[in-house]
Structure formats: structure tokens, C-alpha cells
């Protein structure tokens, strides 16, 4: 068994245990394998171990991997999870299945206009700067409802919910607080009549806290693929990074 396959087993066991501890149904939380900086071969190995959804932060690197794994395209779900600039929206709209990092209306409008009708709606989440960090992308919590109302009617997009990358914390109580805040924001969108169902939150170090607070997608990279190589080591060119 490969290291990646063994790591996937470990992460799946963690996820199942977290679901059980939180009183949630088995399989209720989806695992998104964050493959940024790792080569196509690592994605293929994870695929062979049963993983189907992969997350990428850099546009050109993601496009290169999608092309390299074109024979698996119908079996894979590609999620863009990094900051997205206006000049990169067409490539993302034409090649990815999900975007987790929409944080302004202009980006959503471009994705909607550039999404090929033949591909069906692009699944999108609004990224929320839940911890208020200056270094993080994302809309302020107070502005989430207005942005969601503006995005929801756009053609060729399906607003699914919210995403956040909270400030790191060591203990589970501290980890849970921002996830609980994101969960409350999703509830507010539902109360407003928006049909949203997705909380993309939790990573390698805090997935248990995220599951406890209602995550529906956890984004796990290092616990599956190992420590990230530098770009030159990965064999991928991140020059197209947004």
C-alpha cells in the first residue's frame, strides 16, 4: 500500500470517528483532498485509493493537472479553493466543478458569464474572513448576506454555501468558535430563504472541530499527501497562481 493510500485510510478513520462523536450520519461529511504543489502522479495514487474530489489553489497548476489526468476527468471533481483574480476566472469557469473562494460579486458575475452552458452550473461557495485576519481573503461576516443575495440569482452558478480558513488554534474549543460562527451565518442565509447546504471548513489539524460544528466538506492536504514540497520540487509551475 502506498503512503498516500495509508494516509487516506487514516484520515477517513478520523473523519468517521468525528462524525460519530458529533452524532452525525456516517459519510455525511465529504473529504476534499488538497493536492496543491503535488504532481499528477500523487493525485492518481489517491484516485486509485478511492479519492475522487481534489482541491487546487493555483489556477495554472490546477489546469496542468486536469490536463495530465484528462482520462479520469469524468470520475474526478475539481475544486478551486484559492484566491481568484478577475483575469483567471475564465479558465476556472471552463475547467473546474467547484469554486470555494468567491469573495466579491465581480468574480461571481465573471464566473457566471464565462461558464460553458454544456458543463452545467458551477458550484460556488462564498469565502468568509471569519477571523478578521488582514492577511486572509474573504468577505466580512457582516457582508455575507448581501453578497449571497446578489450571487444566488446568477445564471450558470449554484450557490452552495460558505467557506472559511480560520486563524489556527491549538485547543478544540478555540477551533470550534469560528466554525460555529460560520455555521450561524449559513443558518442566517437559510432563514433568508436561500437554498444553501454547504460548509467548507476544517483542514488537517482541525477537522474534528469542524465536523462537530457542522462541516459538510473538510479540506485535507498534508495529512494525505505529506509535507508540501517547494514548487520546484513538485514539478508543477505555480507561475499562474492568482
- Look up the CATH number of the domain holding residue 200: 3.20.20.10
- In a domain? residue 28: yes
Handedness of CA 161, 167, 168, 169 (dihedral sign): negative
- In a domain? residue 94: yes
- In a domain? residue 168: yes
* Cα-based angle 134, 191, 30 (whole degrees, multiple of 5): 65
Q: Which domain holds residue 192?
A: 3-226
Question: With pLDDT > 90 as the criterion, what percentage of the chain qualifies?
Answer: 90
- In a domain? residue 242: no
Domain count, the chain: 1
> Residue 162 corresponds to which cell in the numbers above?
460558505
Q: For the chain, what is the radius of gyration of the CA atoms?
A: 17
Instruction: Return mean pLDDT, the chain.
Output: 94
- In a domain? residue 110: yes
- In a domain? residue 184: yes
Which residue shows C-alpha cell 504532481?
Answer: 39
Task: Report the pLDDT value the prediction gives residue 241, as an integer from 0 to 100.
Answer: 33
> Residue 11 corresponds to which cell in the numbers above?
484520515
Residue whose C-alpha is closest to residue 210's, from 79, 26, 8, 31? 31
Q: Does the pLDDT of residue 119 top 60, yes or no? A: yes
Handedness of CA 130, 135, 138, 139 (dihedral sign): positive
Residue whose C-alpha is closest to residue 39's, from 231, 203, 219, 220? 231
- Higher pLDDT, residue 74 or 234: 74
DSSP H or E stretch at residue 169: none
Report how far residue 217's alpha carbon sits from residue 214's, in angstroms, rounded to the nearest whole number: 9
> Residue 90 corresponds to which cell in the numbers above?
475564465
Q: Does the pLDDT of residue 240 top 50, yes or no? A: no
pLDDT category of residue 140 using cuts at 50, 70 and 90: very high
Task: Report the pLDDT value the prediction gives residue 134, as an integer from 0 to 100.
Answer: 80
- In a domain? residue 232: no
Report how far residue 78's alpha carbon sits from residue 147's, in angstroms, rounded to the nearest whole number: 24
Task: Report the pLDDT value the prediction gives residue 88, as an integer from 0 to 100.
Answer: 97
In this structure, of 117-126, 199-208, 220-229, the range with the lowest mean pLDDT score is: 220-229
Contacts of 126 (CB under 8 A, 6+ apart): 102, 103, 139, 144, 147, 148, 151, 159, 161, 162, 163
- Tell me the residue length of the chain: 242
> Residue 10 corresponds to which cell in the numbers above?
487514516
Residue whose C-alpha is closest to residue 207's, from 235, 233, 176? 176
- In a domain? residue 241: no
Report how far residue 64's alpha carbon sits from residue 159's, in angstroms, rounded to the nearest whole number: 26
Residue whose C-alpha is closest to residue 84's, from 183, 163, 181? 163
Amino acid at each position: 500500500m502506498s503512503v498516500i493510500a495509508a494516509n487516506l485510510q487514516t484520515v477517513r478513520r478520523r473523519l468517521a470517528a468525528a462524525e460519530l462523536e458529533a452524532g452525525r450520519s456516517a459519510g455525511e461529511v465529504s473529504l476534499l483532498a488538497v493536492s496543491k504543489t503535488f504532481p499528477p502522479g500523487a493525485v492518481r495514487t489517491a484516485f486509485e485509493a478511492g479519492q475522487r474530489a481534489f482541491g487546487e489553489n493555483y489556477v495554472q497548476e490546477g489546469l496542468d493537472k486536469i490536463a495530465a489526468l484528462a482520462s479520469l476527468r469524468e470520475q474526478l471533481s475539481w475544486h478551486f479553493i484559492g484566491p481568484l483574480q478577475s483575469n483567471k476566472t475564465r479558465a476556472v469557469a471552463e475547467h473546474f466543478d467547484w469554486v470555494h473562494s468567491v469573495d466579491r460579486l465581480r468574480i461571481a458575475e465573471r464566473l457566471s458569464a464565462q461558464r460553458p452552458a454544456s458543463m452545467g452550473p458551477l458550484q460556488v461557495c462564498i469565502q468568509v474572513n471569519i477571523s478578521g485576519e488582514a492577511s486572509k481573503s474573504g468577505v466580512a461576516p457582516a457582508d455575507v448576506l448581501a453578497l449571497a443575495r446578489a450571487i444566488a440569482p446568477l445564471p450558470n452558478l449554484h450557490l452552495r454555501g460558505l467557506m472559511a480558513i480560520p486563524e489556527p488554534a491549538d485547543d478544540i474549543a478555540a477551533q470550534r468558535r469560528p466554525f460555529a460562527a460560520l455555521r450561524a451565518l449559513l443558518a442566517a442565509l437559510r432563514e433568508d430563504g436561500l437554498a444553501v447546504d454547504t460548509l467548507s471548513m476544517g483542514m488537517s489539524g482541525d477537522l474534528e472541530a469542524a465536523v462537530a460544528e457542522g462541516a459538510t466538506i473538510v479540506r485535507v492536504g498534508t495529512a494525505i499527501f505529506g509535507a508540501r514540497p517547494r514548487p520546484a520540487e513538485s514539478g508543477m509551475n505555480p507561475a499562474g497562481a492568482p
